Structures are given as C-alpha cells and as structure tokens.
Amino acid sequence: MASQPFPVPQRPYVATTVTLAAASPTRYQLWALVNASRPNTPMSAREVNVQISSSGGAKVYFGDGAVTEADYGFVLSAADGLARRWASDQGNCGWGNVYVITDTPGATVSVEVLGC
C-alpha cells in the first residue's frame, strides 16, 4: 500500500506585490497572481487588504470574472492612493473569486492576506 503524502499547509500570512503586465481587456485572478509568488496561499482568509502601489496615474478595476472598465465593483487609482479591505469576523471571505484589470500596463498592487 502506497503512503499518502501529507498535504502542504496553507500560509497563515502572505504579503506581496503583484504586477498586472498587460492592460485591459486582460483579466487576472487576484489569487492566482499572489499564489504564483507565494505558493499555498489560501483562496479564502479572514482579511485581505489591497493597495495600488504603482505611479503614473494607473487605475486598477476589481470585480468578478466579467470585470471591465465600464462594469466593476470598485476601482483603485494611484493618484488617489486608495486601498480596499475584505474582512469577515464569522468565517473566511472568498477573495479567490476577485479579478482585476488595469488601464496601464505594469501597474502594481500590494496584497496582504491574514488569518488563513
């Protein structure tokens, strides 16, 4: 009987900056961008914070898998220095379903995931 490997534990805290290489209409799943540099990042967490960190007037649009510059949940602008937080005190928020696009190639977003 073959032994089963133990599952790799998820990370309890992740903080990284991700780059949106191409502009709209290219959509990125936010979790996939983070997980590429921080493997085992959970798709749900107690709290997720995002902040646009690029300069040059870039805008980053957040939404579901159909996000566009005309149809989005919210937008962050480098000029405004805005941030966004998802949190849940009764369970985990499912940020793995969040997609992003940008109007400026090379825009960067800082992401912090807590309480996995």
Domain region containing 38:
21-114
More confident residue, 64 or 82: 64
pLDDT for 94: 82
pLDDT for 115: 77
Q: pTM of the predicted model, to two decimals?
A: 0.82
Whether 13 maps to a domain, the answer reads: no
Question: Which residues lie closer than 8 Å to 41 by C-beta, 6 or more apart?
Answer: 10, 11, 14, 31, 34, 35, 113, 116
Kindly compute the dihedral angle of the four CA atoms of residues 97, 101, 106, 111, in this order, to the nearest 10 degrees: -30
SS3 83: strand
Whether 1 maps to a domain, the answer reads: no
Measured distance CA(70)–CA(116) in Å, rounded: 32
The 10s digit of each residue's pLDDT in 20-52 is: 999 999 999 999 999 999 998 888 888 888 988
Beta carbons of 59 and 102 less than 8 angstroms apart: yes
More confident residue, 31 or 95: 31
Whether 8 maps to a domain, the answer reads: no
The residue-averaged pLDDT of 57-86 equals 86
Number of domains in the chain: 1
Whether 6 maps to a domain, the answer reads: no
Whether 98 maps to a domain, the answer reads: yes
